[in-house]
Amino acid sequence: MKNNIYPKNYQSVLNLVDTQIAIKLIKDTFERELAKDLELIRVSAPLFVEPNTGLNDNLNGYEQPVGFVVNENGQDLEIVQSLAKWKRYALKKYDINGLYTDMNAIRRFEDTDNMHSLYVDQWDWEKRLTSEERNVKTLKRTVKKIYKSFLKTYRLLVKRYPELENNNLPKDISFVTTKQLEAKYPNLNRKERENALAKEYGAVFLMQIGANLKDGKPHDGRAADYDDWKLNGDILLWYEPLQIAFELSSMGIRVNKESLMKQLKAKGEMSKVNLPYHQLILNEQLPLSIGGGIGQSRLCMYLLKKVHIGEVQSSYWPKEDIENFKKYNVELL
């Protein structure tokens, strides 16, 4: 479903060349600060995986990945949709405490609009936890560190380009659960609730996404086999140019064997228990961990005050969209 937002009286703050220079500044700075604040090591990640490993992320549970057949031996492969599961496996393989990587994915099911592209680029990260650290306190502490890295990137950018100053950014990020949000705005739909929440707080971590709320439906879809639905959430920022809640990151403490079984039953996906990845969790052969993804193009879009992700990312856009946005001074790359 198309949700294009056409801004009135829009003019990009930076021209095309300065935009490209600023994108590199943002990416280099945030990557460096994130690695330092979370104590992460950069590793290489796959673009595609074998379907039968269970390593590919099925996101909300219904999206179909892009696949192809290897010419050499007829092996089926899938382009990754995210690296949520692979990263946890990689912690064990590399025998390290924390990692991050550049994740590039193709999500052919996306309806392209101001915020969504068929091409996804993000920093994926993962960090080991002890059983005692699998709690809300650890989750909140980690979210605060990520927000700290974000603010440091913003401040450096504004020193270079003062015209990009954003007065809506609070010094601290707030925390609200989906149940609290439902109680606060019972008559609003999910998206309207997020918009109202983000506008109120400026920066908020919306927690506990996946389990059903009072109305019998989850706030948003989450796969059953990577985040623990009691210990996850999304970083939302209020975005003045589009008047929306801007999702910057989805993250959480990963499932252990107990939460994996509970969530697979809840979604009717018990057939997955025999996949290699799931067996590793059930047999406690993978480290406990916390992890997430942070959109690279989204981060740049937000900090550069762009109104379409296509202003900071080269991807596919329908001809109609290119022509329509051009009428509003929006040049899609």
Contact 219, 181 (CB under 8 A): yes
Amino acid at 178: T
Phi, psi of 317 (to 5 degrees): -135, 135
Which residues carry out catalysis? 57, 107, 122, 234, 247, 250
Q: What pLDDT was estimated at residue 287?
A: 95
Q: What pLDDT was estimated at residue 72?
A: 77
> Domain 16-326 class?
alpha beta
Q: What pLDDT was estimated at residue 48?
A: 83
Q: How far apart are alpha carbons 107 and 119 in whole angstroms?
A: 6
Q: What pLDDT was estimated at residue 188?
A: 94
In the three-class reduction of DSSP (H, G, I as helix; E, B as strand; rest coil), residue 321 is classed as helix
DSSP state of 83: -
Contact 251, 292 (CB under 8 A): yes
Domain boundaries, the chain: 16-326
Q: What pLDDT was estimated at residue 59?
A: 55
Structure tokens at 37: 């604040």
> For the whole prediction, is pTM greater than 0.85?
yes
Task: Starting at the earlier edge strand, list the strands of the sheet with 41-42.
Answer: 41-42, 98-106, 119-128, 289-295, 244-254, 227-239, 203-207, 174-177
Q: How far apart are alpha carbons 171 and 173 in whole angstroms?
A: 7
Number of neighbours of residue 118 by Cβ within 10 angstroms: 16
Those residues whose C-beta lies under 8 Å from the C-beta of residue 75, and which sit 6 or more positions away, are 50, 69
Q: What pLDDT was estimated at residue 210?
A: 92
pLDDT tens digits in sequence order for the chain, 333 residues long? 568 989 888 999 999 999 999 999 999 999 999 999 999 999 998 888 787 776 666 655 556 777 778 777 888 888 887 787 788 889 999 999 999 999 888 877 778 889 899 888 999 999 999 999 999 999 999 999 999 999 999 999 999 999 999 888 999 999 999 999 999 999 999 999 999 999 999 999 999 999 999 988 999 888 888 899 999 999 999 999 999 999 999 999 999 999 999 999 999 999 889 888 889 999 999 999 999 999 999 999 999 999 999 999 988 888 999 999 999 999 998
If we measure between CA atoms, which residue out of 275, 259, 276 comes closest to residue 267?
A: 259
Cα separations (Å) of 271 from 151, 174, 267, 275, 285? 43, 38, 11, 8, 20
Q: What pLDDT was estimated at residue 2?
A: 65
